Amino acid sequence: MHVFNDARVDTNLFLQLQDLATVLSGDVDLKFEYNYGTFLDLVDYKLTASRFWDNTKSTIKEPGLKTDVYLRALGTLRHSTIPEMKAFIENITESSLPKFAYQLFALLEDLRLEEIIKRDRPGTVRAFTIRRQAYQHYFGTQLVVNASRNFPLDELFCLIYLQLAADNPDPSFPKATANQIQQLEDLKPLLFQVFEAGSTLDTARIAEQIVFRLSDYKDTLNEYFVFPISHIERYEKNTLFDELTRTDPLTNCDFEEVDQDESEYFEQEFSTWHRENKNENRKQNFLQFELEQGTKTSILGGGARETEDGDQAMASIQGASSQSKQNDYSEMEALEKDETSSKGSSSDEFGEENKDAEKIDKEATNPTLEDIEAYQNFVAEIEPYKRKLAKTIEKTMEHKKNQPRQDLVFGRLSKKLLPIVFDENPRVFYKKNEDSKEFDAVFTLLVDCSASMHNKMDETKRGIVLFHEVLNYLKIPHSIIGFWEDANEVKEEYQPNYFHRIHSFTDSFYEQTGPKIMQLEPEEDNRDGFSIRVMTKELEERREKNKFLLVFSDGQPAAANYDQNGIVDTNLAVTEARKKGIDVIGMFLANGEIEEREDLIMQNIYGKEHLMIPSVAELPEHFAPLLKKLLLNLV
């Protein structure tokens, strides 16, 4: 299992930031992610927030991350101009201080954008105040470190930030070296121009002058900020907002003369004339509005005119809520959607992060004598707890209802009395429905078989055996499935995910499948979000009223290309399952003491519906109150 540094990701905050990026940018396809700096990338279609905030307090972290989103979605996207940025990059290529130059530009431009955002959206002022205070503390600390280690340009960069963020024009820096304080004094006339900057061009000009004044320095060693736009060489428009709404120009620029009085209307079809294809057979559908090539006409664009009875489009196109009376063009090639070229083209069934995941079923083999012996030992160990758990489920669950029996010769009198008149032997009685002995519930026990479970697998097996024995005793259908991703078989666009089928819904309660549980072993990686969605799909097909998915895991999803968003994707999968009426419970069975970090991870994925259980002996006690809350919808 891969170890990754975002195990403590707050899924609720992550989703808030994703929504914030979507709303402020106005683009639902723009993804949010954490990175080692905050920037916009319209090639990979993402907006990032800096990992600088990872090690700060929650009261600082949330506002800090939000200001990263504000700066990119409200600032860089709309108010930073690409040509000036490109010119700046080209101009400093000859400089010996490229790292310093990029960071200085990023800092100065962010300060300019911050003032625009605070002016337009006063509600952001508090978050930016917290951001500035956090950075003041950070650069104050770094100033001392850089001065003591003799990193002069790093020291000067810290001084530049602290000067620009100070509440007065002459702050004191007792820890800084005399040379860098004097250099700061020399730069102040230029630095103070930042507060007058009205465009990206102004920011670039100030940054260039500072960089070329410092040509005697060696470049910075540390990276405090990153350039705010990634892949900037790929963009052609004036701003990134223009890039979001860009359309390719016409290949040719000729003009078709149109006599408006002689214009011909077609009731069902129309064509678009252009040099590459005159469309003489008129086989194109008029619904294909977005054109990459074509010829200019004299028809006014961007303006409104009154519709007329003869308007072909207005007469033929109807809303999605009603069926068109015109010809059906749904099968025509012009309307076919190119799934491979559109953003987010992969199926949403198992989530965007799992588009290359492949489901592979593995059937359990016949148990060996060792499996049978080990299972019997587990059964003996859990026997004292079996009755407790059985009583918990039995008292809480509803029994299935039998249908009322009609047309009986005795019982309760029915309201339908006509048979008394017409039948010789009328049957006008019925009996009310009664509870059956079957419970109206179904369980799936999904077991994480990743390598990180090696020190928890024995205790997890005991928990599985306990549930299996109890559910068998109560005749409640259930399945037991282990899951993992084989890291050794992962290839580009192929991620094999195995589902070890230990016990299925259709297995007879009288079959001795229990020993097969011993075949669950730690394997490779775990793609939890994908596995939960697969199990959700299977549970959706069941008719029982109460559906439970118990996920036995250590809470750390990690697989190929899954490190950063694994926890978030798993949280989304859990949320989706719950919306479909399936109660998902995270089950953490420890082999002793539980660490606070482990509890936090489970909390981030499963919310309140998770159990941290030190040992199987405590499982019934922990499971009872949660089960009751779920069934009574009190959670």
All residues at 6 or more sequence positions from 120 whose CB lies less than 8 Å from its CB, including other chains? 74
**What is the rounded distance in angstroms from the CA atom of residue 27 to the CA atom of residue 230?**
18
- pLDDT confidence tier of residue 334, bands split at 50, 70 and 90: very low
- pLDDT confidence tier of residue 511, bands split at 50, 70 and 90: confident
pLDDT more than 70, % of the chain: 75
**Per-residue pLDDT at 293 exceeds 50:** no
User: Are residues 567 and 605 in contact, defined by beta-carbon separation less than 8 angstroms?
Assistant: yes
Q: What does the pLDDT read at residue 429?
A: 64
pLDDT more than 90, % of the chain: 49
Displacement of CA 409 from its chain's centroid (Å): 61
Q: What phi-psi label fits residue 493: left (phi over 0), alpha (psi between -120 and 50 degrees) or beta? A: left
- pLDDT confidence tier of residue 324, bands split at 50, 70 and 90: very low
Q: What does the pLDDT read at residue 456?
A: 86
Bridge partners of 229?
40
Which of 1.10.357.10, 3.40.50.300, 1.10.645.10, 3.40.50.410 would CATH assign to domain 361-398+440-631?
Answer: 3.40.50.410
Residue found by looking up tokens 């860009």 in the block:
246
User: Are residues 442 and 477 in contact, defined by beta-carbon separation less than 8 angstroms?
Assistant: yes
Q: Where are the alpha helices (DSSP H) in 347-476?
A: 369-396, 418-422, 457-473
**What is the rounded distance in angstroms from the CA atom of residue 440 to the CA atom of residue 437?**
10
Displacement of CA 4 from its chain's centroid (Å): 17
**Per-residue pLDDT at 5 exceeds 50:** no
- pLDDT confidence tier of residue 439, bands split at 50, 70 and 90: confident
Mean pLDDT across the stretch 571-589? Answer: 92
Q: What does the pLDDT read at residue 503?
A: 94
What is the DSSP secondary-structure string of 502-519?
Answer: EE-TTS-TTS--GGGGGG
**304 vs 126, which has greater pLDDT?**
126
Mean pLDDT across the chain, nearest whole number?
80
Mean pLDDT across the stretch 259-272? Answer: 46
**Per-residue pLDDT at 509 exceeds 80:** no
Q: What does the pLDDT read at residue 271?
A: 42
Mean pLDDT across the stretch 116-125? Answer: 95
Residue found by looking up tokens 């016949």 in the block:
366
Strand order in the sheet with 31-35: 31-35, 46-50, 40-41
Q: What does the pLDDT read at residue 567?
A: 87
Mean pLDDT across the stretch 436-458? Answer: 86
Dihedral sign of CA atoms 262, 266, 267, 271 in order: negative
Q: Which helix (H) or strand (E) holds 356?
A: none
User: Are residues 36 and 50 in contact, defined by beta-carbon separation less than 8 angstroms?
Assistant: yes
Q: How would you label 395-417 residue by residue, b for 16+ Cβ within 10 Å and e otherwise?
A: ebbeebeeeeeeeeeebeeeeee
Q: What phi-psi label fits residue 8: left (phi over 0), alpha (psi between -120 and 50 degrees) or beta? A: alpha
- Rg of the chain taking only CA atoms, in angstroms: 33
Q: What does the pLDDT read at residue 310?
A: 41
Pairing of strands 46-50, 40-41: antiparallel
* Tokens of residue 314, six digits: 């207005």
Pairing of strands 546-552, 441-448: parallel
User: 207-249, pLDDT tens digit by residue?
Assistant: 999 999 998 999 999 999 999 999 999 898 999 988 887 655 4
**Per-residue pLDDT at 75 exceeds 80:** yes
Pairing of strands 46-50, 399-401: unpaired
User: Are residues 480 and 464 in contact, defined by beta-carbon separation less than 8 angstroms?
Assistant: yes
Helix 98-120 with 125-149: angle, nearest 10 deg: 160
Q: Return the top range by mean pLDDT from 261-270, 300-309, 380-389.
A: 380-389
∠328-331-335 over CA atoms, to 5°?
95
Displacement of CA 407 from its chain's centroid (Å): 56
| Domain range list for the chain | 11-240, 361-398+440-631, 401-435
Q: What does the pLDDT read at residue 287?
A: 41
Range in 334-338, 346-350, 371-375, 394-398 the model is least confident about: 334-338
**Per-residue pLDDT at 24 exceeds 50:** yes
Dihedral sign of CA atoms 11, 12, 17, 23 in order: positive
Mean pLDDT across the stretch 324-348? Answer: 42
Q: What does the pLDDT read at residue 406?
A: 61
- Nearest alpha-carbon partner for 471 in 449, 435, 502: 502
**What is the rounded distance in angstroms from the CA atom of residue 557 to the CA atom of residue 541?**
26
